Amino acid sequence: MIKLSNVSIYNLKDEVIYSKSSGNLDQQKSDSSFETSLNLSLGDGKLVIGESYYAIGIRDDDLPIRTQTMNCIDASDNPRFEGSIAFPEKPQGAMAGNTLKATSEADILIDCFNYSSSEFNRSTWGAALEYFFGGLTNSPGPVLMATAGRQTIGASQNWSSIDEGPADICLSWVNKNINFGVWIHFNFQLFGLGDRPIWYVATNGGSWKLAGSDPSVPYTWDPSAVGFNITATPTSGHQSLSVEVVITDIKK
């Protein structure tokens, strides 16, 4: 059971239906399915029983997390959501379980380069790696040095089973009164089927927001909000996502 705070509920159009709630998330894998359930402490009457939603919240270790798609089964002041992905029989020719992938190459990666004249200190960071992720391939140091600093966080799968994920990595930086961060979410996949990884950004303590409807499109922070030129450029695949973040000074 995972305790969540600052929970927002989204519909499948990525529209916020409800925010600033708290609750408990339970994710369980059996031999035949992957089960998700979410209970919230508050509701506002905008939910519809039988409709599909997903949630974004903050774990008790301060890491962001996104749920799988779930159905609303209780739309009261204490709403409840449940989701289930059934495992079919292994398709003919599937390679899952036959080979192990080397863990030296990250499948999800946040790579930060600082070419500005100011250093940044590491803020919120970490990983929540679920089933059959081999672990971190890269861990970031506490300081992103000025002029030529580089820090990276990455994680890999081991391809030892029919299913992988969900998994999350995030890395945030602070400089005086400004901060920003990137979070990658690897969606649960079965036999390589499922949505490709997506990513989120945050600015100055605000909520995490989807970087864009297409995870292959770059994102640029507002220079007036962060005091630097900061651009994140993704390389998006069906079972991989890397985001390169480049920081430079604003030219006067």
Question: Model confidence over 164-198: pLDDT tens digits?
Answer: 557 899 999 999 889 999 999 988 766 555 678 89
Pairing of strands 178-186, 108-114: unpaired
- Residues 235 and 216: their CA atoms lie apart, in Å, by 6
Report the Cα–Cα distance between both ends of the chain, in Å, rounded: 51
| CATH number assigned to the domain with residue range 108-248, chosen from the 4 options 2.60.40.10, 3.40.190.10, 2.60.270.20, 2.40.30.10 | 2.60.270.20
The candidate with the shortest Cα–Cα distance to 147, out of 119, 178, 110, 112, is: 119
pLDDT digits (tens, 9 = 90+) for 102-135: 344 778 899 999 999 999 999 999 988 876 666 7
- Model confidence band, residue 97 (pLDDT cutoffs 50, 70, 90): very low
Distances (CA, A) of 122 to 53, 113, 184: 33, 13, 17
Burial class (CB in 10 A: 0-12, 13-18, 19+), 81: buried
Are the C-beta atoms of residues 41 and 23 closer than 8 Å to each other?
Answer: yes
Least confident of 132-136, 159-163, 247-251: 159-163
Give me the half-sphere count of Cα atoms (radius 13 Å) on the Cβ side of residue 22: 4
Task: Give span(s): CATH 2.60.270.20, the chain.
Answer: 108-248
How many helices (H) and strands (E) are present in the chain, helices listed first? Answer: 1, 21
Alpha helix stretches (DSSP H) within the chain: 223-226
- Residues 77 and 74: their CA atoms lie apart, in Å, by 9
